[in-house]
Structure 1
Amino acid sequence: MSGSASHERHRQEMTFDAILTEQAGPLTRRLARMVGDRETAEDLRQETLARAWRRGPRDASPPVVRAWLHRTATNLALDELRRRKRREHVPLRETLAAAGGHDGQRDPLLADALASLTAHQRLVLLLRFEAGLSLREVGALLDLGEDAARKRVARARAAFLEAYRQAGDDDPRPTILLLLGREDPAPYEAWLRASGARVRTVAGGQAGLDLAGADGLVLGGSETDVHPSLYGEPVGPHVGATDLTRHLRDLAALRHALRSGLPVLGVCSGTQLLNVLHGGTLHQDLPAAGWDALDHRDEHPIATADDTLARRLIGGRPGVVSEHHQAVKRLGRGVRVTSVAPDGLVESLEVPDHPFALGVQWHPERCSGDVGRRMADALVAASAA
């Protein structure tokens, strides 16, 4: 068999997941050329991969799959360009009706708070949080520079938060937005409320106006694995069920919160997403990767690093409770490891240049003693500042 024939046979035998991984780079470059914005291109690439995972032609030949991916990406880019032309005419009533909360139920306080603002403030918030425009795009639509757009968004959000609090009977507690999938919200909500938070839980769809009305963000743990396509790897044999829709939502909310200076706490898979967002990768299965010296499902000690938020909050060697089979592998850019387990596995991450951006591989809502309480107290205090 000739070399070219052997190569073609290899390409024909590629798995569907391998093709998705292979095409991540080409799709991003194609989308960036079309929309002129690397950040938007990455978001559209993730949406392309999510659609492929949900309804792509899994049994088709590699050339057909590649063509499907690029056609889907092109259509998404064209939709994005068309939206940019008409975003100055945001349908307020439709957007208010779409503002959803836990299990998709509309929060009347959010709608009332938004309706009490000026038309310009509503427009700015809807463009930024519901339409998902970057500050640069908001500025371009309003004929402003990016810094001016940032100030307009900040002022509109401050007015929205004040109106939201007044609609809630002047409740002085900071609002923590809790993002979950199919997990039971009760343990998280009780843990946060015990430290003085008002909790708003979102279990489906985009965060949208819920994020605009939040003082802090918690990415809860996930029953599903983070899909390897999100960090550019093929799916291994030990990956369990995944939920791309949920994790794409969480990544978008996390990205916005970090850029806005919103206090952030990632729990378990939330820590993994914090690393993925910064370009890091994950161990798809700890036992398969050789990490079997310590059972991380039981309470175990960790060692925190000097001069870190983790050390200030929970001391040098606290005991924590975990339940996971995935964890940080290659560290992302711009994040710091701030604690490790006795076997060397990463147990927490921080974003050093952010006031409060912490990811913990364990579950603080389940920890005994005062470890969980200290973390919740610190998050609520940062959210109230």
Structure 2
Amino acid sequence: MTFDAILSEQSGPLTRRLLRMVGDRETAEDLRQETFARAWRSAPRGAQTPVVRAWLHRTATNLALDELRRRKRRDHVPLHGALADPKASDAHRDPLLRDALATLTAHQRLVLLLRFEAGLSLRELGELLDLSEDAARKRVARARAAFLEAYTSANADDERPTVLLLLGREDPGPYERWLSAPGARVRTLTGMQAGLDLAGADALVLGGSETDIHPGLYGETQGPHVRHTDLTRHLRDLAALRHALATDLPVIGVCSGTQLLNIVHGGTLHQDLPSSGYDALDHRDAHDVTTAGGTLARRLLGDAPGVISEHHQAVKTLGRGLRVTSKARDGLVEALEVPGHRFALGVQWHPERCVNGPDGSGHRMAEALVEAATAA
């Protein structure tokens, strides 16, 4: 099939995909045209037809996600959340962050604050500084490396690993107590900001979410049971998760964090458990799960730990390369692991609420994460 024929054939499917994601036919058609324009410039012309089709749909999906991000863009967070939060309690402030920033040159501070505080893209930063996008990327990388070196040096006497905790509107208190008990130094980012940097983090925890995950993130149309979403927060969390997995940073996903772990590997979700036929077991309450032998979940939690969950969405189609390591008695996936990764575990329940239970499973999970982060 010729290149022109492939574009013609995919016009309808691409428009339908984009319409499902952005909900507006005019915008969907504009994005389809942009997809075709990019295809003419950089698509693999000599590739086989399935490869070109996949390239088109991947490009269209990325354009749609960019559009959704622009619609819901909120304030960006800085290189570290504490730098821009003068109202934070003393427990959340870290004077070493400001001290590390103060060691940089004025230009390095400007570059970092424009990138992470103002949330400028590399292209926008380059235009502002009269640089190419590639030059802007290099300057950000150098400034970020200098900041990280200064911050690491300032923390040389503190042997505790730093765990970055990402939340939305949820109360950080239970999570911070859960992670601090075995010796973690917890850095918390709350709210619905976009933009993030993982500098200085030894581990990542994606907390649960009061809002549903937008089905557009896994290529589905939003159903009637998905009412409250926070696309900006979940895009932020997905970006952090991709970076952590790529750099072998220890990771725990809690509740919706497990769902994002599945999505980042190409999986999908049940948008609503009761309407998907999972109504025999209340997944908004305490229940038991069964762990698989030879897994991290079995080692940390035992055969059949009691858990406390609160969710109406869950893993549907398993993402590529993931392993299911725990299920509920109704067959629903309750825990995932990433084989080959040093420590990457997702649990559909809330371990921060299982610290003082009869088996202390939540505490053992936090201990294992801190151990992995310390080794990192």
Length-normalised TM-score, structure 2: 0.71
**Contact 2:165–2:187 (CA<8 Å) still a contact in 1?**
yes
- Return the offset for 1:240: 2.5
Determine if the alignment matches structure 1 residue 167 to structure 2 residue 154: yes
Q: What is the alpha-carbon distance in structure 2 between the residues aligned to residue 187 and residue 174 of structure 1?
A: 19
Q: What is the alpha-carbon distance in structure 2 between the residues aligned to residue 35 and residue 252 of structure 1?
A: 27
Structure-2 residue corresponding to 1:213:
200
Q: What amino acid maps onto 2:331 in structure 1?
A: G
> What pairs up with 1:1-385 in 2 under 5 angstroms?
23=28, 26=32, 29-30=35-36, 33=39, 44-52=63-71, 98-101=78-81, 104-105=84-85, 108-114=95-101, 116=103, 141=134, 163-168=150-155, 170-204=157-191, 205-206=193-194, 208-209=196-197, 211-367=198-354, 368=357, 369-385=359-375
**Contact 1:27–1:45 (CA<8 Å) still a contact in 2?**
no
Q: What is the alpha-carbon distance in structure 1 between the residues aligned to residue 33 and residue 336 of structure 2?
A: 30
313-322 or 116-125: bigger deviation: 116-125
Q: What is the alpha-carbon distance in structure 2 between the residues aligned to residue 288 and residue 30 of structure 1?
A: 38
- Return the offset for 1:256: 0.8
Q: What is the alpha-carbon distance in structure 1 between the residues aligned to residue 218 and residue 21 of structure 2?
A: 16
- Seen in structure 2, the aligned counterparts of structure 1 residues 53 and 114 have a Cα distance that, compared at 3 Å, is closer
**Contact 1:165–1:172 (CA<8 Å) still a contact in 2?**
no
- Return the offset for 1:298: 2.2
Cα root mean square deviation, aligned: 4.2
Q: What amino acid maps onto 2:364 in structure 1?
A: R
- Seen in structure 2, the aligned counterparts of structure 1 residues 126 and 102 have a Cα distance that, compared at 3 Å, is closer
- Seen in structure 2, the aligned counterparts of structure 1 residues 170 and 316 have a Cα distance that, compared at 3 Å, is same
- Seen in structure 2, the aligned counterparts of structure 1 residues 322 and 115 have a Cα distance that, compared at 3 Å, is same
Q: What is the alpha-carbon distance in structure 2 between the residues aligned to residue 124 and residue 258 of structure 1?
A: 26
SS in 2 for 1:176: strand
What is the number of residues matched between the two proteins? Answer: 321
**Contact 1:31–1:45 (CA<8 Å) still a contact in 2?**
no
- Return the offset for 1:314: 1.1
- Seen in structure 2, the aligned counterparts of structure 1 residues 272 and 239 have a Cα distance that, compared at 3 Å, is same
SS in 1 for 2:242: helix
Q: Once the two structures are aligned, what percentage of the paired residues are identical?
A: 63
- Return the offset for 1:122: 8.9
Q: What is the alpha-carbon distance in structure 2 between the residues aligned to residue 41 and residue 125 of structure 1?
A: 30
- Seen in structure 2, the aligned counterparts of structure 1 residues 212 and 235 have a Cα distance that, compared at 3 Å, is same
121-130 or 161-170: bigger deviation: 121-130
Structure 2, gaps ≥5 residues long: 1-11, 44-54, 87-93, 123-132
Q: What amino acid maps onto 2:312 in structure 1?
A: H
- Seen in structure 2, the aligned counterparts of structure 1 residues 132 and 53 have a Cα distance that, compared at 3 Å, is closer
- Return the offset for 1:111: 4.3
- Return the offset for 1:113: 2.7
The C-alpha deviation readout for 1:293-346, integer Å capped at 9, x for no partner, is: 111222211111122211121112111110000000111112111110011000
- Seen in structure 2, the aligned counterparts of structure 1 residues 202 and 322 have a Cα distance that, compared at 3 Å, is same
Structure 1, gaps ≥5 residues long: 1-6, 56-94, 134-139, 143-148
**Contact 2:72–2:232 (CA<8 Å) still a contact in 1?**
no
Q: What is the alpha-carbon distance in structure 2 between the residues aligned to residue 124 and residue 40 of structure 1?
A: 29
Q: What is the alpha-carbon distance in structure 2 between the residues aligned to residue 345 and residue 103 of structure 1?
A: 41
**Contact 1:293–1:343 (CA<8 Å) still a contact in 2?**
yes
